[in-house]
Amino acid sequence: MYLATTGRPDAPPAPSGVRRRVPGTVLALGAVSLVTDVSSEMVTAVLPLYLVLGLGLSPLQFGLLDGLTTGATALVRLLGGATADRGGRHKTVGGLGYALSAASRLGLLVAGGATGWIAGSLAADRLGKGVRTAPRDALITLHSPPEDLGRAFGVHRAMDTTGALLGPLAAFALLWATADAYDAVFAVSFCVGSFGVLLWLLLVPGRTRHARVARPVVPRPPRARGGFLGAPKSPGYRRIVLCAGLLGAATVGDAFLYLLLQRRTGLDPTWFPFLPLGAAAVFLLLAVPAGRLADRLGRRGPLLYGHGALLLAYGLLLTPLPDAAVLPGVLVLLGTFYAATDGVLMALTGPFLTEGRQAGGLALVQTVQALARVGAAVAFGALWTASGPDTALAGALLALAVAVCCSARLLPRGLAVPAGHAAPEPSERTD
Please say whether the beta carbons of 125 and 68 come within 8 A: no
Q: With 0-12 CB in 10 A as exposed, 13-18 as middle and 19+ as buried, what is 192?
A: buried
Asked whether the predicted pLDDT for residue 303 surpasses 70, the reply is: yes
Max mean pLDDT range (43-52, 303-312, 351-360)? 303-312
Is residue 346 within 8 Å of residue 3, measured between CB atoms? no
Note whether 199 and 31 are within 8 A (CB): yes
Task: Measure the CA–CA gap between 193 and 45, rounded to whole angstroms.
Answer: 15
Residue 282 near residue 336, CB atoms below 8 Å? yes
Q: Give bridge partners of residue 2 from the DSSP assignment.
A: 354
Q: Which pTM does this prediction carry? A: 0.77
If DSSP codes are grouped into helix, strand and coil, which group holds residue 2? strand
Which pLDDT does position 2 carry in this prediction? 35
Q: Is-contact 246 355, C-beta < 8 A? A: no
pLDDT at 35: 95
| Range 166-177 average pLDDT | 86
The set of residues, in sequence order, having a beta carbon less than 8 Å from that of 369 and lying 6+ positions away, is 244, 245, 247, 248, 345
User: What single-letter DSSP state applies at residue 427?
Assistant: G
Give the model's pLDDT for residue 259.
86
CA distances from 119 to 277, 282, 361 (A): 25, 31, 29
Q: Which of 207, 264, 77 is nearest to 272 (CA)?
A: 264
pLDDT greater than 70 at residue 113: no
Segment 83-90 mean pLDDT: 83
Task: Answer whether residue 391 shows pLDDT above 90.
Answer: yes
Q: Is the pLDDT of residue 31 over 50?
A: yes
CA distance 265 to 128: 35
Least confident of 90-99, 200-209, 238-247: 200-209
Least confident of 55-59, 190-194, 413-417: 413-417
Q: What is the pLDDT at residue 357?
A: 80
Q: What is the pLDDT of residue 190?
A: 93
Q: Which whole number is the average pLDDT over 109-125? A: 74
pLDDT, mean of residues 318-335: 90
Cβ atoms of residues 304 and 411 within 8 Å:
yes
Average pLDDT of the residues in 411-415: 70
Q: Please, which pLDDT band fits residue 428 given cuts at 50, 70 and 90?
A: very low
User: What pLDDT does 56 receive?
Assistant: 65
For the segment 77-106, the average pLDDT, to the nearest whole number, is 87
In this structure, is the dihedral angle defined by the CA atoms of residues 87, 89, 93 and 94, taken in order, positive or negative? Answer: positive
- CA–CA gap between residue 311 and residue 327 (Å, rounded): 15
The neighbouring-strand residues paired with 354 are 2
14 pLDDT band, cuts 50/70/90, is very low
Amino acid at 349: T
The model's confidence at residue 110, banded by pLDDT at 50, 70 and 90, is confident
Average pLDDT of the chain? 80
DSSP reduced 3-state for 354: strand
Please state, as a whole number, how many other Cβ atoms lie within 10 Å of the Cβ of residue 195.
16
Render 122-140 in DSSP notation, one character per residue: HHHHHHHHHHHHHHHHHHH
* pLDDT score for 71: 60
pLDDT at 55: 66
For residues 5 and 368, the model is more confident at: 368
Better-scored residue on pLDDT, 112 or 223: 112
pLDDT at 196 over 90: yes
Instruction: Give the integer Cα–Cα distance in Å for 350 and 223.
Output: 16
Q: How many CA atoms lie within 13 A of 83 on its CB side?
A: 17
CA–CA distance, 129 with 142 (Å, rounded to integer): 20
